[in-house]
Structure 1
Amino acid sequence: MNPQVIKVACSNCNLRELCMPVGLSDQDMNRLDDLVATRKKVKRGATLFTNGEKFTSLYAIRTGFFKTCLATEDGRDQVTGFQMAGEIIGLDGIVNDHHTCDAVALEDAEVCVMPFENIEELSREVTALQSHVHKIMSREIVREHGVMLLLGSMRAEERLAAFLLNLVQRLHSRGFSQSELVLRMTREEIGSYLGLKLETVSRTFSKFVEDGLVEVKQRHVRILDTEGLQRIVNHQTACH
């Protein structure tokens, strides 16, 4: 692949601040451009990688939205996370050299493929990259831990409120609105992720609408009362 094309991928990419370490010298930045082997388009509904597949690369999501999921023993799909543009996907494969979930595109998407051996090699030479990779990993662990707490002790209202606040905060850090979001996932997928039945998710959304917390038009959600949602979540933490 033409190196110039790759250079555009990292050095001039508008997601650079999210994917790449900040404050690198031009020389190091040019080295980082070697990280991206190719860009890959993933059609809506297609998988980027599957459970058990050999781990070779991390993927920076340029555009689009993904869910990671596992098939449970009784054949259901358990959603384990949602990932959006500017986030890194594929970290699950590092531990055992195999992916431990499926990554499915919820809309047409494009990712930058970053072979892990390139990352390791460059990390040894560019220390800022090494600490950045560690930061990404620990952020992911903290997020997973937060989700486990969420599922462990929260009531349905608290789970959905925390989910919406988390989503809008992640979108906001990517330059989107602080109060409006389009849900790329179905109510069923939200339920699977939050450990709630589909009807519970729908009922809770309706309650939030009745209470004037949110406005919902199909997949468009406008948060009318951020503090109200935060109070629902904080009430839970105050009780523990």
Structure 2
Amino acid sequence: MNLQTIKVACSNCNLRELCMPMGLNEQQLQRIDEIVATRRKVKRGGTLFRNGEPFNSLYAIRTGFFKTCVATEDGRDQVTGFQMAGEIIGLDGIVNDHHTCDAVALEDAEVCVMPFDRLEELSREVTALQNHVHKIMSREIVREHGVMLLLGSMRAEERLAAFLLNLVQRLHARGFSQSELVLRMTREEIGSYLGLKLETVSRTFSKFVEEGIVEVKQRHVKILDTDALKRIVNNQQTCH
């Protein structure tokens, strides 16, 4: 193994438990390392892949934050998701062999490139890897289903509360604070994702601040009352 490969190796990556299955032996890890020998840097505002491009690889986000979006018929960007370090991006391309959205970096980012044909080949040999890839896919499906429910029946406060809880929970799984976060996306992008107008997002944030649920300083958000956010979301769910 050359030095470059060792530097990008999954086996000594601190995000490994989020991206890769646990309990692989040394040899299996080395096989994965060989596949994931390439890293790609994407500058803030840069695109990792575009809608319509051929699908060749999945990407594990090492550092940074992305949004996925599609252009609507009237030329606006519809945000379809936000992805952070330790998550896999590019699954949208598996179905039709081409990507169905743009992936844009919201801050300088670095990804590990995992060529899909080699990943498939290896997962046929390493069952734990195959199960893991399936688990990642189903997690994405569940998350998207959750978003559809969110947009289908929730009021603005419920949508924003669920969004903040989901974000902080995912960040917490990566070792970050359970109550503080820096929003890498704009209010407008949050609105696009949640199906809300920019003014509604700003108004709802202000309402949460007035009620002592959150503290907001520009992009810094501190959750002062997690239970209140949960109540906002759960009240909705018990009504249906």
Q: By the TM > 0.5 criterion, same fold? A: yes
Aligned-partner Cα distance in 2 for 1:110–1:29: 21
Deviation (angstroms), 1:115: 0.4
- The letter of the residue matching 1:6 is T
Tell me what 1:49 maps to: 49
The residue correspondences of 1:39-188 to structure 2 (distance < 5 A) are 39-188=39-188
Gaps of 5+ in 2: none
Aligned-partner Cα distance in 2 for 1:35–1:228: 45
Aligned-partner Cα distance in 1 for 2:34–2:54: 22
Tell me what 2:21 maps to: 21
Deviation (angstroms), 1:78: 0.1
Aligned-partner Cα distance in 2 for 1:98–1:147: 23
Tell me what 1:215 maps to: 215
Aligned-partner Cα distance in 2 for 1:172–1:49: 27
Tell me what 1:6 maps to: 5
Aligned-partner Cα distance in 2 for 1:126–1:7: 21
Deviation (angstroms), 1:5: 2.5
Moved over 3 A (4+): none
SS of the aligned residue for 2:35 comes to: coil
Cα displacement string for residues 171-223 of structure 1 (whole angstroms, at most 9, x for unaligned residues): 00000000000000000000000000000000000000000000000000000
SS of the aligned residue for 1:11 comes to: helix
Aligned-partner Cα distance in 2 for 1:219–1:198: 15
Q: Percent identity?
A: 85
Gaps of 5+ in 1: none
Deviation (angstroms), 1:7: 3.4
Q: Is the 8 A contact 1:7 1:30 kept in 2?
A: no
Aligned-partner Cα distance in 2 for 1:64–1:54: 24
Alignment size in residue pairs: 239
Deviation (angstroms), 1:3: 4.3
Aligned-partner Cα distance in 2 for 1:124–1:218: 48
Q: Is the 8 A contact 1:34 1:118 kept in 2?
A: no
Aligned-partner Cα distance in 2 for 1:153–1:29: 44
Deviation (angstroms), 1:4: 4.0
Tell me what 1:202 maps to: 202
Aligned-partner Cα distance in 2 for 1:12–1:5: 13
Deviation (angstroms), 1:153: 0.2
Aligned-partner Cα distance in 1 for 2:142–2:58: 19
